[in-house]
């Protein structure tokens, strides 16, 4: 904002200089003398008298008594009041010199007007100072510097306009930036978060432009900052749940678009890579996204199980090389809140907790709908995803208030979309030999992602291909995760 305002000020100053009509200023100078040939003392008194009278003559210059004769002699199509704005008379202190300057768009006319005003002033002073009893005026004015047509314009002053434009734009930009910072109450980093809540900061995920096309943890280099961010989130979540009572963690946000679904999906992948058996439940029954990220079928899933059309053991879908199972959303129902708050949902979560080490639930945002608050009664803990520079402080306060109202167990906050540099940056990079910050090792292929924790064979980054391979492997596994664990 400061840079834009400064450049705009420079541009305006330059445009004013380019499009402004040139103005020329002609100057003339008069000398005021006392007609006396007396003693030195009389001359001194006359000089003091003339200096005192000069100030009055300067004030007389812009009067109609002086300007109208000049207008008549030059035949100017203007009035005395209009010409007065073009004429300026000054005098230096302790001198008997009168300076007359005239500005006009024509240099020749500026000189003619200046000379005409000077001649008119001489005649006017002679008339005013002449004694009423007759005789000559004791004061005489004479031109000592005739007016000449200027060769260069006095305005516009390009350098001055650029300086003024620069300073004005800079001042406006600084004031605007300060006002914007004061009025902008969006959450940018941990410092803004601490003004609202003392909940633990589970992790920070740096904004990645490639996340829109490659959202999964398995689609980036194992030692990339994004991958390390989710592993750090996995570790901090385990410490936040050191008692182990929260086997089911609900991932939600205040508003849509803060990254809760990608966070839930990648957290489930990171937990599975650490050796745990993980179940990822897509409980966003309004805008399900997990199936799109993982490339799985959502025609059957959570809603199918809740309405009793199928057993959960028959709709769980394995994904990837690790022990990650996905329970898709199923068909979108007309009553999501009622289904998520039902006793069937409670019993389903209890069954999943008995079969898996960790259950990650992707829930709808808190403010638009009540699904997440209703579902919080059935889970062990909640992690709230906060989109940096997207969510306002009052929105997060409302979300925390809604969860406190239902007595939810808030495990902590996940800051998403953090800048990679600056005071609000959270994660840091530590690359291995031969790895490039923009991608992975020289041998890393964009179409393949390597399993980080187990040293397994590369897995195709295409989520659909990963699902097809998981289906082929599932044909060799015991039917159902529950019977397998038993």
Report, as an integer, the average pLDDT of 158-177.
Answer: 93
Contact 306, 344 (CB under 8 A): yes
CB 192 within 8 A of CB 393: yes
Distances in Å between the alpha carbon of 97 and those of 90, 247, 268? 9, 97, 91
CA distances from 345 to 312, 361, 379 (A): 11, 12, 10
Assess contact for 467 and 298: CB atoms under 8 A: no
- Distance separating alpha carbons of residues 383 and 203, to the nearest angstrom: 10
Chain segment 331-361, per-residue pLDDT in tens:
999 999 999 999 999 999 999 999 999 999 9
Q: Could you report the per-residue pLDDT of 272-326, keeping only the tens digit for each?
A: 999 999 999 999 999 999 999 999 999 999 999 999 999 999 999 999 888 999 9
- The confidence band for 453, taking pLDDT boundaries of 50, 70 and 90, is very low
Q: Please give the Cα distance from 270 to 267 (Å, whole number).
A: 5
Residue 201 in this model has a pLDDT that exceeds 80? yes
Per the model's pLDDT, the better-predicted residue between 207 and 453 turns out to be 207
By the 8 A CB rule, do 444 and 450 touch?
yes
pLDDT of residue 438: 42
Give the angle 57-63-64 at the CA atoms, nearest 5°. 135
pLDDT score for 424: 58
Distance CA 474, CA 467 (A): 10
- The CATH number that domain 190-430+444-485 falls under is 3.40.50.300
Can you give the pLDDT at residue 475? 36
pLDDT of residue 390: 87
* Torsion angle defined by CA atoms of residues 282, 285, 289 and 292, in that order, rounded to the nearest 10 degrees: 90
**Domains of the chain, residue spans:** 21-145, 190-430+444-485
Give strand pairing partners of 104. 24
- Give the residue with greater pLDDT, 6 vs 474: 6
- Cis omega (within 30 of 0) on the bond before 323? no
Residue 458 has pLDDT above 60, yes or no: no
The pLDDT value recorded for residue 474 is 42
> Dihedrals φ, ψ of 297, to 5°?
-85, 130
Q: C-alpha distances in angstroms, 203 versus 48, 228, 377? A: 85, 10, 24
What percent of the chain is modeled with pLDDT above 70?
83
| 3-class SS shares of the chain: helix, strand, coil, % to 5 | 45, 20, 40
* Lowest mean pLDDT across 38-47, 215-224, 398-407: 38-47
pLDDT tens, position by position, 387-441: 988 899 999 999 999 999 999 999 999 999 888 765 556 555 455 444 444 444 3
pTM: 0.61
Q: Which two tokens stand for residue 144?
A: 């000592």
List Cβ neighbours of 437 (8 Å cut-off, separation of 6 or more): 429, 431
For the cut 70, the answer to whether the pLDDT of residue 158 exceeds it is yes
For the chain, give the mean pLDDT: 83
Whether residue 161 is predicted with pLDDT greater than 50 in this model: the reply is yes
What topology is assigned to 21-145 in CATH?
Alpha-Beta Plaits (3.30.70)
Please say whether the beta carbons of 29 and 99 come within 8 A: yes
Distance, CA of 175 to CA of 179 (rounded, Å) = 6
How are beta strands 459-460 and 448-449 bridged, if at all? antiparallel
| More reliable by pLDDT, 54 or 327 | 327
At 485, is the pLDDT very low, low, confident or very high (cuts 50, 70, 90)? very low
DSSP class of 87: E
Per-residue model confidence (pLDDT) at position 376: 92
Instruction: Tell me which of 112-116, 134-138, 411-415, 442-446 is least confident.
Output: 442-446
What's the pLDDT score for residue 246?
Answer: 83
* DSSP type of residue 138: S
Over 60: is that where the pLDDT of 463 sits? no
Q: How far is CA 363 from CA 7, 140, 281, 358, in A?
A: 46, 98, 9, 16
Of 53-62, 215-224, 404-413, 457-466, the poorest mean pLDDT is in: 457-466
Question: How high is the pLDDT of residue 454?
Answer: 34
Q: Report which DSSP code applies to 152.
A: S
Say if residue 39's pLDDT is above 90.
no
Which structure tokens are listed for 151? Answer: 């060769």
pLDDT category of residue 41 using cuts at 50, 70 and 90: low
β-pairing, 278-282 vs 324-327, is parallel
């Amino acid at each position: 904002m400061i840079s834009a305002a400064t450049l705009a000020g420079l541009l305006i100053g330059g445009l004013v200089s380019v499009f402004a009509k040139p103005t020329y200023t002609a100057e003339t100078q008069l000398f005021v003398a006392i007609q006396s040939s007396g003693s030195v003392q009389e001359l001194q008194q006359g000089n003091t008298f003339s200096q005192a009278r000069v100030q009055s003559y300067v004030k007389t210059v812009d009067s109609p008594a002086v300007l109208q004769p000049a207008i008549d002699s030059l035949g100017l199509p203007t009035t005395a009041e209009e010409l007065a704005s073009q004429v300026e008379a000054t005098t230096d202190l302790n001198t008997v010199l009168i300076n007359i300057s005239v500005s006009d768009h024509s240099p020749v006319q500026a000189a003619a007007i200046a000379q005409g005003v000077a001649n008119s002033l001489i005649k006017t002073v002679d008339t005013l100072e002449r004694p009423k009893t007759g005789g000559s005026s004791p004061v005489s004015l004479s031109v000592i510097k005739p007016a000449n047509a200027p060769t260069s314009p006095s305005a516009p002053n390009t350098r001055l306009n650029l300086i003024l434009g620069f300073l004005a734009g800079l001042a406006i930009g600084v004031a605007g930036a300060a006002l914007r910072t004061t009025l902008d109450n969006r959450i940018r980093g941990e410092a803004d978060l601490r003004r609202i809540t003392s909940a633990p900061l589970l992790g920070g995920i740096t904004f990645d432009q490639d996340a829109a096309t490659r959202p999964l943890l398995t689609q980036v280099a194992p030692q990339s900052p994004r991958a390390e961010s989710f592993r750090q989130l996995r570790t901090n979540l385990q410490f936040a749940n050191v008692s182990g009572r929260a086997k089911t963690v609900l991932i939600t946000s205040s508003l849509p678009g803060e990254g809760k679904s990608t966070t839930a999906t990648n957290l489930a992948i990171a937990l599975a890579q650490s050796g745990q058996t993980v179940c990822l439940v897509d409980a966003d029954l309004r805008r399900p996204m997990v199936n799109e990220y993982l490339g799985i079928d959502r025609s059957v899933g959570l809603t199918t199980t809740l309405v009793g059309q199928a057993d959960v053991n028959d709709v769980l879908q394995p994904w990837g090389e690790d022990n990650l199972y996905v329970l898709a959303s199923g068909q979108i129902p007309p009553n999501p809140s009622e289904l998520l708050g039902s006793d069937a949902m409670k019993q389903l979560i209890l069954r999943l907790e008995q079969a898996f080490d960790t259950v990650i639930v992707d829930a709808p945002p808190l403010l638009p709908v009540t699904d997440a608050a209703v579902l919080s009664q059935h889970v062990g803990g909640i992690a709230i995803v906060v989109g940096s520079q997207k969510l306002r402080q009052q929105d997060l306060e409302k979300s925390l208030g809604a969860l406190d109202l239902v007595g939810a167990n808030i495990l902590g906050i996940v800051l998403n979309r953090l800048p990679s540099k600056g005071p609000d940056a959270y994660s840091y990079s530590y690359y291995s030999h031969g790895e490039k910050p923009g991608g992975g090792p020289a041998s890393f292929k964009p179409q393949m992602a390597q399993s980080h924790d187990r040293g397994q064979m590369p897995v195709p980054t295409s989520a659909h291909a990963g699902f097809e391979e998981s289906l082929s492997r599932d044909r060799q596994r015991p039917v159902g995760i529950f019977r397998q664990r038993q």
